[in-house]
Amino acid sequence: MVEAVYPLIALAVTFVVAPFLIRSFLSRNIIGRDRHKPDRPRVAEMGGIAPFIGIMCATALFLFFEGDAAIAAFAGSLAIVFAVGVLDDLRALRQRTKLALLLTAGVPIIALGKGSLDLVLVTLDFGVVYALLVVVGMSAAANLTNILEGFNGEACGMGVIATAFLVIDAHVVGAPGLARMLAPVCLAYLALLYYNRYPARVFPGDTGTLLIGGAIGAATILEGVPLLGVIVLAPHIVEFFLKATVRFGGVKYGPTSVDDDGILHPPPYRSLANTLTRRMRLTEPHLVAVLWIIEMAAGCASIVVAYFLY
């Protein structure tokens, strides 16, 4: 029961800190334009700072009272991902630079000096191949959640759903460490979602979107169940391959437009959102709801895999 307090701390801290950050960023012109609204309102950026503070407060208290080397490695990886996200938001890093910097997020996990990756058919114990998969996996996971973002509540909501299902998976496979790591992340982003939901008062920014994937990657790798992380990130993986068909150059096609009835009209390139809005008449909240349902389906698949394969 005591462990249930730490995720609630992450939620409370995030919920309290976010409004202060929103006001501060608006006054300092750290903003983005909401391109899917007719009047393109100013919206505070870098909202991911709030859940990071919440997660770190909860993690610090857990380490102080409980102590856990794996949780410390998890926090170290998140700190690196967060730093890269801040740099990206402030300096607009080149994609190659961002990918290279995110490789370092695997270092705290490798430095732990123990662990294995259960890939169902084969288990990789600590070694060169393990280390390589860790650094590549961390970079890939963080970038995947950064790809599927652009609408109010999209990334935060999908992150809440993905981490919630992984917490359930933790109980299915008997990996309490997975729940300890991701329950605070889930509730911290639930708090941010309150401010990021339609109409958004704050965007998570790369600071926030990278952190979701980084947390999923770090937790599933540390607990030796990366396949579960891959499954909950399946919608993001699909998005990656769809956008790869235009070499991630969707910006040149312009943003999704919105008519007077609030219906979204996609630009002519492939992505999950564009495919859905091309086939259905969807407003922004309806589109995000459909994407959440898709993420829930991926989460249900992860439970099935956790039950039968682990």
Question: How many domains would you assign to the chain?
Answer: 1
Contact 53, 89 (CB under 8 A): no
E strands, the chain, where? 31-33, 42-44, 116-118, 123-125, 257-258, 264-265
- The pLDDT tens digits of the residues spanning 104-133 come to 999 999 998 666 666 665 565 666 777 888
Q: Per-residue pLDDT tens for 136-154?
A: 999 999 999 999 999 999 9
For range 294-306, the mean pLDDT: 98
Q: Domain span at residue 127?
A: 2-309
Instruction: Look up residue 123 and give its two tokens.
Output: 């288990």
- Measured CA to CA, the distance from residue 84 to residue 81 in angstroms comes to 5
Write down the pLDDT at residue 249.
60
pLDDT in tens, 233-291: 999 999 999 988 877 665 655 678 899 888 999 988 889 999 999 999 999 999 999 99
DSSP state for residue 104 in the 8-state scheme: G
pLDDT tens digit sequence for 180-235: 999 999 999 999 999 999 999 999 999 999 999 999 999 999 998 999 999 999 99
How far CA 96 is from CA of 79, 93, 100, 107, 108, in Å, comes to 20, 8, 6, 19, 22
CA atoms of 100 and 86, how far apart (whole Å): 15
Burial class (CB in 10 A: 0-12, 13-18, 19+), 60: middle
For 125, phi and psi rounded to 5 degrees? Answer: -85, 170
Residue 166 to residue 227: CA distance in whole angstroms: 11
User: Can you give the pLDDT at residue 125?
Assistant: 64
Q: Omega before 176 cis (within 30°)?
A: no
Instruction: Please tell me the distance from the alpha carbon of residue 241 to that of residue 235, in angstroms, as a whole number.
Output: 10
Per-residue pLDDT, averaged over 11-33, amounts to 97
CB 216 within 8 A of CB 229: yes
**pLDDT for 115:** 60
pLDDT at 123: 64
Tell me the helices (H) and strands (E) count for the chain, helix number first: 13, 6
Question: Is residue 2 very low, low, confident or very high in pLDDT (cuts 50, 70, 90)?
Answer: low
Q: How many residues does the chain have?
A: 310
Mean pLDDT over residues 9-36, rounded?
Answer: 97
The two tokens of residue 217 are 């990657």
pLDDT at 121: 58
Note the pTM of the prediction, 2 decimals: 0.95
